[in-house]
Every structure is written in structure tokens, then in C-alpha cells.
Amino acid sequence: MLTVLMGEYQRAYERSVADPEAFWRAAAGLIDWVTPPGRILDDAAPPFYRWFPGAELNTCFNALDRHVDAGRGDQPALIHDSPVTGALTTYSYRVLRDEVAVFAGALRRLGVTRGDRVVLYVAMVPEAVIAMLACARLGAVHSVVFGGFGARELAARIDDARPRVVVATSCGIEAGKVLPYQPMLDAALDAATHRPERCVIVQRPQHLFELRPDRDLSWDDAIDGAEPAECVPVAATDPLYILYTSGTTGKPKGVVRDNGGHAVALRWSMRSVFDTAPGEVYWAASDVGWVVGHSYIVYAPLLTGATTILYEGKPVGTPDAGAFWRVVEQHRVTTMFTAPTAIRAVKKEDPSGALLRGRDLSSLRHLFLAGERLDPQTYAWASDLLSVPVIDNWWQTETGWPIAANPRGLEPLPIKAGSPSVPVPGFRVRVVDGTGRDMPAGEDGAIVIDLPLPPGCLPTLWGDDERFVRSYLTAYPGTYLTGDGGRLDEDGYLYVMGRTDDVINVAGHRLSTGAMEEVLAGHPAVAECAVIGVADPLKGQLPRGFVVLKRGVEADPIGLEEELVAMVRAQIGAVAALRRVDVVPALPKTRSGKILRRTMRGIADGLDEPVPSTIDDPSVLDRLRPVLVNYPAAHGSEGSAPSS
Ligand code: COA
Ligand code: AMP
């Protein structure tokens, strides 16, 4: 497959395929173990595979203590740069280790032990990172819930993870607004059937949480007098965290990350993909609630002994579209990582890059972009402006680190705009047709990865092996179904063109149309509904809802739209960005009753969408067409089109 590329990348890739155990045994040397790996891969029970069975380590020790022991105690580990509050706080490795040890002691005093879950519902504050690492220190399992999610999403995660303790911030700060978290947390705990024993609240001066004495205590009270906790050795195969992600149904999937494979894969990726060395400054402008934040704000930079930046701000508006360049200059960032939508937001506000002029960005070696497809125009704009390689990389919450990338630390390969380059060593990526046969180069199909997945990828879904197998491993036995479609070209470069299921990507955020449909269907006037993702020039995609009213129900369409939008905002969260819901007489369906969402999406995106032969009543689609196509002229956000 990889015919023309020779060199260090090609050699590493072939080694990873020919002898994965030798390959990952060598990479495991980058991690400190309590019990070093003997066997590398447990493949006794396919399709379940476990990396480093029998080995023991502590992820927090690898992220903090070992760097202090090795003389990096005074080096900055974490810089909290918060233009929304004006705070700028630097934690050295020693200080961060000590604060994490104390909070781990506080959690232990609240009864948290190895294997217990702790849900974090947090803004981008240092306590978020401290709490994650404190869980890792105890061998407890954290589950961070993105602050932009609403009560229903939070409740679903609490019920699935069954945490002993919840840690929350009293508020987030978004676009100049202080957003109290208490209404969401109280509503989620009222709705959930599981009761955590305690909630620890980080009281931010911008808005105080009204503590309920029977349930809540402040962070300060929690740590008061707490004994610092030592690192608890755990099995490499023990869970480090659960991160819920959107599937095609309303029930989120609890992606499990183990300790050993995760540490090895992330540390290896920093060297081989991100070309970042200990002591350098790495900045992922994402949020700790997403996988990019878990992997590349918290764990990978710290496992490496680099300095990481926790940026509590936006690409624009905090205070302006020069914010990214200010942070790079001020902290001498060597490697930056964000989502294409963030760059499109900057480009929209400052198309000529005027706010970059006069800034010294000489420290910056690379800009990495992921979370959605990097459209060629955004690629070209960023690389012209910055004069550094702009590196698209493709991955998912499930994999935890890039499946395809330009492996800058192994061998910088030529960049092809529109492609995240080549499969990363360890990932045997194929593009297949409906029967599982390889597609010829250049032709589109489903993207799959041969099992076993490399270290760091999900071993299962939390408490649901059956759903794990059904969702990912049954469509094409022996492979993992990514849910993305695309193609490989004759040079082995991958092109990832979008999801083949009902997951949508809004401003780099992965959301489930199924979850939004469940909320719309809950309105008493609604008989049936569909939510689709339509192309949006700034956010990549935006959701649009269509509802059919119950027989005999009359509703003012504007008032109903407002109610439905408010319901989705309250239950799923503001981040869903559902702003338009149309009342329609009927939804187009197949004869077997399946709503033709893909056809609706194609028409809305202005594609020459064929009408499937299985359609039940073509006149329904004909009547819907004008409603579908008059978007985004009326409602769309502005910006340069992310089409290729
Ligand atoms: N807590 C509470 N609310 C949040 C939130 C959080 N952590 N994050 C977002 N929201 C809210 C926003 O305030 C906004 O609410 P509004 O409807 O009242 O304005 C809504 O959710 C949508 O937010 P967002 O998606 O951020 O859109 P935006 O229009 O405010 O900003 C971008 C657009 C492109 C600037 C922004 O989406 C962005 O920076 N994206 C980068 C994406 C990213 O980092 N992805 C992670 C993968 S790498
Ligand atoms: P998440 O699990 O939130 O990281 O979202 C993963 C999904 O985002 C993938 O399945 C893709 O659909 C999309 N995605 C992420 N990165 C890229 C990329 N570089 N190119 C194309 N799609 C991407």
C-alpha cells in the first residue's frame, strides 16, 4: 500500500505491523513501571485485547513525581492562562505534584479508593487537572464531563459511571458571561438514580455555589488538613478514565482508557508524531472535557516532562483574534494544537493576519489541527500566515491519539492539503466496501482498522462489552469500524471525508443527532422528528431539526421552535448549537419506515443527492426540498466555506 514512501516512517510502520510486541516493548521503555511488562499483548480472547498484562505502574507518578525526581522540579509543568479572568498562574512540577498529592489525600479521606469513579464537571481551571491527576494517583477512575453539556447529559454519565464523588466548579466563564454550574448539577443529581456520596465544589470568585451541607463541601475544606497521598500502583490494564462520547443513540458511550497502554502510546506519540521533547512548551487549545484535552492538555505533555498550557479563553473575543499568537509568543510555545474551526474563527475576524504582525512566533515549530476535517482553504491560510508546517491529524475519542498524521518526529513527510497524511505506526488502516473488501486507491469506502488496535485505544466500553462489540467490531469481523468514510490514495495518504453514521461534528465537538431527537420527541406536541447535521462555513456542521406534529395539534411554529431549542439547550447543552427547528407535514421515509436522514442532509448541503429507490412516498421529499435548501442563507454563521 505505502509504495512511494521510504525512510524512517516506513521502517517504523513496518516494524509495528510485522512485530507489534517488539515495537511496543521498545516504546514501553519510555515509561517507569512498578512491575515492568513481561508479556506485551494478551490476545487470548479476541476481539478483546489487552496491552501489557501483568505489568504495574502509576500514571500520576509518570506524569509528575518521576520528573521531580529527575531534576525537573522547578520547571513549569502547567501554565493556567485565563484571559477571561485575567489569571496567569504557573505550577512547577514540584508544586503540581504536591497539590495533586494533597487533593488525592482529600479524595481518599472522602472514601475514594482504587477503582472508584469520580465525575468532574469542570471549567478550564487548574483544579480540573489537579483532580484528574489525583484520581490517577489513587488508582481511581475519573470521568470528566464537558462544561458545555446540560443536565440530561451529565445525569446520563453519573448514572453510568456511578461515582463516589463529583467534583465541580461553581461556574464557567464563556464569552464574557458567568455561567453558574449549580442549576445543571442540581438538576442532573435530581434526575439521576445514582447518588454520589459527596460533591466537592471549586468556589470561583466570579460566582459562588450555594453549598448543601448534606451533600457538598468546598475544595478548600476538602483539602484542609488532608494528608498527601502516595502513588498507588495499579495494573496496566486497570482503567485510568472513562470519557463519554456521542454515539448514534441518545445514550453516550463510555470509552474506557487503561493506564499502561495509554501512558506508552501518548509518550511515544509526543516524540514520534508531535516532535516534542521534555522541557518544551506544548499547547493544546482545547478543553479538558474532550479527548484532545485529556490526551494533549493533561497526560501526554506531562508524561513527557514538557510544559503544558491550560488556556481558559477562546480563539476570538478574549480579547480578540490575536489571542492565539499572544499566547504562543508569551509562553514560547513550540507545538500548538487546536481545531480547524478555531482557525476559521480567527481567519473570519482577522483575514489578513494583522494581529499576528509584530509578534515573535519564532519558538513555534508546528501547528497541529484535529477534531474535524481540515479543509484545504483553512490549511492554506494557516500555513501561509504562520510559515510553519500545519499538520492535520485524524483520531477519535475511542483511539485517544492520532490514527493518521504526518509523523513529524519520525520523518516529516510531504503534506497533501485535505489529507491527514498516513496511518501512524500501530494502526493498520484500510478502506473497504460493504462486503469488507479493500477499495482500490482513490475510491471511497468505510475506514476500518485491523485488530488489535495499538496501545492507548479503548479496550471496551464502560460496563458494556456487548455494546463495544456490537458498535465497533461486528460490521467487518477482525476490524474496528471507525464510523468515518474516506479513501487512501496511491501513496498511502488517507482522506477522511466525514461520518457514515448519525454523529455530527459541530465546531470540533462530536454530538449525537439521536440524542437531540430524543429531546425533541419528548415535547408533547411532537409526533416524530429528525435531526440532521448540515454544512456550516464556520463550525463545519450545525444541527437542524424537523418535527411533525401530533394529529389535531396546532402550534405556532415560531413559539414551538423556541421551546424546542430551549429544551435541547437545557438538556444537551448550549454546545449543541441547535437553533432551527422546522415544523413539516411529514418526514421522507423508506418503505420499511426508516427516515432518509442522509438524503435530507445531502439536499440541505446542496449536493446532487440521488433519491433512493426504497423511498416510500417521493412527494414527501419534494415538499420538504424548499425547506431544506433555504439554509444556511437565513440562519448560517458566516465565514469561509470549509468545503474542499
Ligand atoms: N461551558 C459552558 N458553555 C459552553 C462551554 C463550556 N465549557 N463551551 C461552549 N459553551 C457554550 C457557548 O457559550 C455557546 O453558548 P451560546 O449559544 O449562549 O453563545 C455555545 O456553547 C456554543 O459554543 P461554541 O461551540 O464554543 O461556539 P461559539 O460560537 O461560542 O464559538 C468557536 C465558536 C469556533 C470560536 C468555538 O467553537 C471554538 O473555539 N471551537 C474550538 C473547538 C475545540 O477546541 N474543539 C475541541 C477539539 S480539538
Ligand atoms: P471525537 O471523538 O470527538 O474526537 O470525534 C472524532 C470524529 O471527529 C472522527 O470520527 C471524525 O469524524 C472527526 N475527525 C477528527 N479529526 C479529524 C480529521 N483530522 N479529519 C477528519 N475528521 C476528523
DSSP string across 381-445:
HHHHHH-S-EEE-B--TTTSS-SEE--TTT-PPPP-TT---EEPTT--EEEE-TTSPBPPTT--E
Q: Average pLDDT, stretch 125-134?
A: 99
Evaluate whether 499 touches 484 at the Cβ level (below 8 Å): yes
State CA 293 to chain mean position distance: 7
pLDDT tens digits along 196-210: 999 999 999 999 999
Ligand in closest contact with the CA of 447: 2
- The residue nearest atom 19 of ligand 2, judged by CA position, is 394
CA distance 91 to 63: 14
Q: How far apart are CA 58 and CA 133, in angstroms?
A: 10
Which numbered atom of ligand 2 lies nearest the CA of 510? Answer: 3
3 state DSSP class of 574: helix
pLDDT band at 129 (very low <50, low <70, confident <90, very high): very high
Q: Which amino acid type is present at position 486?
A: G
CA of 395 relative to ligand 2 center, distance in Å: 5
Whether 342 is in the pocket of ligand 1, judged by its Cβ within 6 Å, is yes
pLDDT of 488 strictly over 50 = yes
Comparing 30-39, 58-67, 402-411, 590-599, which segment has the lowest mean pLDDT? Answer: 590-599
pLDDT-derived band at 369 (thresholds 50, 70, 90) equals very high
What pLDDT score was predicted for residue 633?
Answer: 41
Mean of the pLDDT values across residues 222-228? 98
Would you say residue 143 has pLDDT above 70?
Answer: yes
pLDDT for 246 = 87
Q: How confident is the model at residue 175 (pLDDT cuts 50, 70, 90)?
A: confident
Backbone angles phi, psi at 153, to 5 degrees: -65, -40
Q: What's the whole-model pTM score? A: 0.94
Percent of the chain surpassing pLDDT 70: 97
Ligand 1 pocket check for 575: Cβ under 6 Å: yes
Mean pLDDT of 478-506: 95
Q: Which residues pair with 595 in a beta bridge?
A: 589
Grid cell locating 209: 455555589
pLDDT score of 640 = 38
Reference 570, options 180, 187, 95; nearest CA is 187
Strand positions, DSSP E, 83-164:
87-92, 117-122, 141-146
**% the chain with pLDDT above 90:** 93
For residue 531, pLDDT beyond 80: yes
Helix (H) or strand (E) holding 107: helix 93-109
How confident is the prediction for the chain on average, in pLDDT?
95
pLDDT of the residue at 251? 86
Cell of 271: 516524540
The architecture in CATH of the region 507-635 reads: 2-Layer Sandwich (3.30)
Please state the CATH superfamily assignment of the domain spanning residues 3-313+395-487 in this structure. ANL, N-terminal domain (3.40.50.12780)
> What residues have CB less than 8 Å from 440, skipping those under 6 apart?
none
pLDDT at res. 576: 92
Edge-first strand listing for the sheet containing 366-369: 87-92, 76-82, 307-311, 281-284, 335-338, 366-369, 390-392
User: How far is residue 392 from each of residues 151, 297, 306, measured CA to CA in Å?
Assistant: 33, 18, 22
Lowest pLDDT segment from 264-268, 463-467, 594-598: 594-598
Atom of ligand 2 nearest to the CA of 499: 12
Taking the CA atoms of residue 329, residue 332, residue 333 and residue 334 in that order, the dihedral angle to the nearest 10 degrees is: 120
| CB-based contact 568:515 (threshold 8 Å) | no
**Measured from the CB, is residue 574 less than 6 Å from ligand 1?**
yes
Mean pLDDT of 472-499: 96
| pLDDT score recorded for residue 1 | 44
* CA–centroid distance, residue 399 to ligand 2 (Å): 11
- Pocket residue to mutate for ligand 1, from 320, 367, 575, most atoms within 8 A of Cβ: 575
What confidence tens digit (pLDDT) does each residue in 601-613 have?
999 999 888 899 9
**Residue-wise pLDDT tens digits, 427-461:** 999 999 999 999 999 999 999 999 999 999 999 99
Instruction: Say what the pLDDT of residue 631 is.
Output: 60
Residue 6 has a pLDDT of 61
| Across 6-20, 441-455, 474-488, 619-633, least confident range | 619-633
Nearest atom in ligand 1 to the alpha carbon of residue 314 is: 39
All three cell numbers of 46, joined, read 479476541
For range 624-633, the mean pLDDT: 78
CA-closest residue to ligand 2 atom 21: 373
Residue 247 confidence class, pLDDT cut points 50, 70, 90: confident
Joined grid coordinates for residue 191? 434526575
- Ligand 1 pocket member 454 (CB < 6 A): no
- Tell me if 309 sits within 8 A of 338, measured CB to CB: no
Confidence of residue 634 (pLDDT cuts 50, 70, 90): very low
Q: Which residue has the CA at smallest separation from atom 45 of ligand 1?
A: 508
According to the model, what pLDDT value does residue 610 have? 87
Distance from the CA of 576 to the center of ligand 1, in angstroms?
9
Does 507-635 match 3-313+395-487 at the fold level? no
Cβ(568) – ligand 1 distance below 6 Å: no
Across 252-272, average pLDDT: 98
The reported pLDDT for the residue numbered 408 is 98
pLDDT in tens, 275-321: 999 999 999 999 999 999 999 999 999 999 999 999 999 999 999 99
pLDDT > 50? residue 81? yes
State residue 644's pLDDT score: 34
Q: What is the DSSP string of 276-290?
A: --TT-EEEE-S-TTS
Say if residue 502's pLDDT is above 90.
no
Query: What is the pLDDT, as a whole number, of residue 144?
Result: 98
If you measure from the C-alpha of residue 318 to the centroid of ligand 1, how many angstroms do you get, rounded to a whole number? Answer: 13
> Using a 6 Å cutoff on CB, does residue 316 contact ligand 1?
yes
> Cell triple for residue 204?
470561583
pLDDT at site 428: 98
Which ligand has an atom closest to residue 341 CA?
A: 1
Ligand 1 center–CA 575 separation, angstroms: 6
Interval 84-127: pLDDT, tens:
999 999 999 999 999 999 999 999 999 999 999 999 999 999 99
Which residues approach ligand 2 with their CB closer than 6 A?
Answer: 245, 291, 370-374, 392-397, 420, 483-484, 496, 499, 505, 510
Query: Where exactly are the structural domains of the chain?
Result: 3-313+395-487, 507-635
